[in-house]
Amino acid sequence: MTAFWTEADYDDHELVQLVHDRKSGLSAIIAVHSSHLGPGAGGTRFWHYAEPKDAMRDALRLSRGMSYKNAMAGLPMGGGKAVILADKDRTKTPEMLAAFGDAVERLGGQYVTAEDVGISEADMVAVSERTGFVSGLPVEGKDAAGGDPGPFTAMGIFHGIKAAVRHKLGKDSVKGVHVAIQGTGSVGGGVARLLAKDGAKLTLSDIHEDRAAALADELGGKSVAPDAVMSVACDVFSPNALGAILDDEGIGRLDAPIVAGGANNQLARAGHGEKLAARGILYAPDYVINAGGIISVAMEYLCKRHGEPCDINEVRKRLAQIPGRLDEIWQESDRSGVSPDVVADRMAQKLIGR
Ligand code: NAD
């Protein structure tokens, strides 16, 4: 029998907690990959998985991603993630959220949670009634950091896309640059709006096709069916839905010189970054470009812990450092011939002492 902790995705996780609450029906996994730089911080995903092992794989990969992301964002936080295993109807009750909050509380601060796919700000408020180890809560006033991380993530990706366009296409602006966006939810929708303001040409896609079409109408872009977006001939393909879309088949279909978007774990497995590089496609490592949300969430959490209001300018300053980090990775990749995902992993591993 293969021991669980020898499996590749386990990758020396410090803690993996299975949570089951019979009364509310909650089933969840809380994973903390590394606390080298601080408490394991990362959002909670609410998702229906075909098999429990898919949920475990997601939790482990997302949690490791958070270790790398927080380190590369220069935050004093480790990496963690939670997934709540939803039923087919995605039934979510106040009792389940309360039981989840209790589970986070029992870990005594080893894990700090926030929103991820399927979890709203209101859900986090419910969780916060049971634990203080939570962030991404509503904030009062426009000048305070915190709240829904989606817009901050979108802003960081927008900065990152501009950096990629500069690096690969030698253009200082995204005016007229064609970006195909997969997923028009909190992050993808925000990226689309910011790009539209700067005159980019947009092609949008979502499994909720009406959502993509409505946003395309509003922003003056086009919408395409979900299975068509990866083969759109464009300057930038921006994945902002779910992970593992960059597999052999997906990479083969791409007709864009740049991949830069917010979805976590875009590469289906190690080696796919090299495939992108071999096709001459510039890749923005996902956990570097999509760090905007965790920057806001972490600043909110740390300020709250110190009993201070958090200045949004501090978050903006840190968001503006994302392009510089990407440039550093791409320059090292150009110099060494090592693909950007591997360069980023090596930098992150050094920072978390692995
Ligand atoms: P969301 O639920 O608001 O939006 C996701 C959108 O993707 C939805 O509109 C959904 O219908 C669509 N979608 C799902 N599968 C699709 C497919 N196959 N093709 C096209 N569209 C599809 O979630 P979000 O907060 O915008 O997060 C999007 C991605 O960004 C996720 O991978 C998430 O982990 C990652 N991310 C989010 C944040 C954040 O702050 N919200 C931070 C970092 C990373």
Whether 208 lines ligand 1, by a CB cut-off of 6 Å, is: yes
How many domains in the chain?
A: 2
For residues 170 and 255, membership in a common domain is answered with yes
Whether 116 lines ligand 1, by a CB cut-off of 6 Å, is: yes
Query: Residue 225's domain is classified under what CATH number?
Result: 3.40.50.720
Residue 295 inside a domain? The answer is: no
Q: In what order do the strands lie in the sheet with 282-283?
A: 222-223, 201-205, 178-182, 236-239, 258-259, 282-283
Say if residues 188 and 182 touch (Cβ distance below 8 Å): yes
Q: Give the distance (Å) from ligand 1 centre to CA of residue 334.
A: 30
Query: For ligand 1, atom 39, which residue shows the shortest CA distance?
Result: 150
Residue 106 inside a domain? The answer is: yes
pLDDT, tens digit only, all 354 positions of the chain: 456 777 778 889 999 999 999 999 999 999 999 999 999 999 999 999 999 999 999 999 899 999 999 999 999 999 999 999 999 999 999 999 999 999 999 999 999 999 888 999 999 999 999 999 999 998 877 677 788 888 999 999 999 999 999 999 999 999 999 999 999 999 999 999 999 999 999 999 999 999 999 999 999 999 999 999 999 999 999 999 988 999 999 999 999 999 999 998 899 988 999 999 999 999 999 999 999 999 998 999 999 888 887 888 989 999 999 999 999 999 999 999 999 999 999 999 999 999
For residues 204 and 108, membership in a common domain is answered with no
How confident is the model at residue 1, as a pLDDT?
45
* DSSP secondary structure code for residue 335 in this structure: H
Say if residues 45 and 116 touch (Cβ distance below 8 Å): yes
Question: Does the active-site annotation cover 168?
Answer: no
Domain of 19? 4-65+76-128
For residues 167 and 20, membership in a common domain is answered with no
Question: Which candidate, 330, 347, 348, places its Cα nearest to that of 339?
Answer: 330
Atom of ligand 1 nearest to the CA of 150: 40
How far is the C-alpha of 70 from the C-alpha of 352, rounded, in Å?
A: 10
Say if residues 325 and 319 touch (Cβ distance below 8 Å): no
Structural element, H or E, at residue 112: strand 111-112
Helices H / strands E in the chain, number of each: 13, 12
Atom of ligand 1 nearest to the CA of 187: 26
Q: Give the distance (Å) from ligand 1 centre to CA of residue 67.
A: 20
Pocket test for ligand 1, best of 208, 230, 242, 247 (most atoms within 8 A of CB): 242
How confident is the model at residue 167, as a pLDDT?
98
Rounded (10°) CA dihedral 193, 198, 200, 204: 0
For residues 339 and 196, membership in a common domain is answered with yes
**Alpha-carbon 199 to chain mean position:** 25
For residues 224 and 272, membership in a common domain is answered with yes
How confident is the model at residue 354, as a pLDDT?
92
Q: Give the distance (Å) from ligand 1 centre to CA of residue 241.
A: 4
Whether 150 lines ligand 1, by a CB cut-off of 6 Å, is: yes
Contacts of 174 (CB under 8 A, 6+ apart): 161, 162, 165, 195, 198, 199, 200
Q: Give the distance (Å) from ligand 1 centre to CA of residue 211.
A: 13
How confident is the model at residue 307, as a pLDDT?
86
Say if residues 127 and 137 touch (Cβ distance below 8 Å): no
Whether 182 lines ligand 1, by a CB cut-off of 6 Å, is: yes
Structural element, H or E, at residue 348: helix 340-351
For residues 120 and 169, membership in a common domain is answered with no
φ, ψ of residue 108 in degrees (nearest 5): 65, 25
Q: Which of 69, 81, 168, 201 is catalytic?
A: 81
Query: For ligand 1, atom 14, which residue shows the shortest CA distance?
Result: 241
Question: Which candidate, 25, 38, 194, places its Cα nearest to that of 95?
Answer: 25
Residue 308 inside a domain? The answer is: no
How confident is the model at residue 145, as a pLDDT?
78
How confident is the model at residue 10, as a pLDDT?
87
**Token code pair at residue 79:** 């990496």
Query: Residue 124's domain is classified under what CATH number?
Result: 3.40.50.10860
Contacts of 218 (CB under 8 A, 6+ apart): none
Q: Give the distance (Å) from ligand 1 centre to CA of residue 351.
A: 28
For residues 176 and 97, membership in a common domain is answered with no
φ, ψ of residue 84 in degrees (nearest 5): -105, 125
**What three-state secondary structure class fits 84?**
strand
Whether 293 lines ligand 1, by a CB cut-off of 6 Å, is: yes
Whether 58 lines ligand 1, by a CB cut-off of 6 Å, is: no
